[in-house]
Amino acid sequence: MAGIHSVSIVGTGNVAHHLGKAFRDVGISISDVYGRNNASTNELAHLLYCSVAPTLNELTGDLILLCVSDNAVIDVASSISVNRRLAYTSGSVPLSSLPIRTFCGVFYPLQTFSKHREIDITTVPFLIEGNSEQHESELMQLASKISQHVLSANSNDRLNYHISAVFVNNFVNHLFSQGKAHVEEHGLDWEVLKPLIFETIGKISDLDPLEAQTGPAVRKDEQTIERHLNELEGKSKEIYTLITQSIQQSAKK
């Protein structure tokens, strides 16, 4: 049977929810879901109008999509019959690290997903890889049903996109947390920072990040940097120092 007409989902976390809903909304049949946690598996099955598979080998979809933590991908894949068509959603697990199987691939959405935050899936880049031309092409066709931005990417390119994603999303978000904690420790209002955050993000649609950089580090306002460091301690001081040095080195190039 050519093409992927139905999908089974393994895992019940952020990505399982968003991809499941995206498939449901465009009319791709979700056959069933499988998860370790009964409550979250039942909740996802209810959301996707599908059944719960009692074991991995009772999943019935044309494609089994593993939306499990990176470090579980190989174990879970190894428990599924080698003739079933499989794909996983991790950015950093190389396809070559999985045991040999007939159809194996990657269905990586380069976006940040949180279960309870809506996202426009049509704008999400999907990085696709397959262990055969046929499987890759079928995964690309499936991704094209939910997104307008589908590209083929090998494991090395995907790893490098993922590293970049960690910098621009996870690290930036961690810095938001640091900034929030700092003002709140001083009894100040986090909301006052929000226009600056939105403008910081908005600027990169028009400017290269190197051109967009402002602040004491790039201006080499050493007295200001010293005043800030005097107020900081521990990890926050280390992060401030390291990023200040990195900004100054990048500006020199």
Ligand X SMILES: NC(=O)c1ccc[n+]([C@@H]2O[C@H](COP(=O)([O-])OP(=O)(O)OC[C@H]3O[C@@H](n4cnc5c(N)ncnc54)[C@H](OP(=O)(O)O)[C@@H]3O)[C@@H](O)[C@H]2O)c1
Interacting residues with ligand X (CB under 6 A): 11-16, 35-37, 40, 67-70, 72, 75-76, 89-91, 108-109, 111-113
| Cβ-based nearer residue to ligand X, 87 or 225 | 87
| Cβ-based nearer residue to ligand X, 80 or 217 | 80
| Cβ-based nearer residue to ligand X, 36 or 145 | 36
- In the chain, the amino acid numbered 84 is R
| Cβ-based nearer residue to ligand X, 18 or 135 | 18
The nearest distance, CB 222 to ligand X, in angstroms, is: 38
Task: Point out the residue whose Cβ comes nearest to ligand X.
Answer: 13
The nearest distance, CB 140 to ligand X, in angstroms, is: 17
Asked if 8 and 32 touch (Cβ cutoff 8 Å), the reply is: yes
| Cβ-based nearer residue to ligand X, 168 or 243 | 168
The nearest distance, CB 34 to ligand X, in angstroms, is: 8
| Cβ-based nearer residue to ligand X, 86 or 225 | 86
The nearest distance, CB 57 to ligand X, in angstroms, is: 14
Backbone angles phi, psi at 175, to 5 degrees: -70, -35
The nearest distance, CB 91 to ligand X, in angstroms, is: 6
The nearest distance, CB 59 to ligand X, in angstroms, is: 12
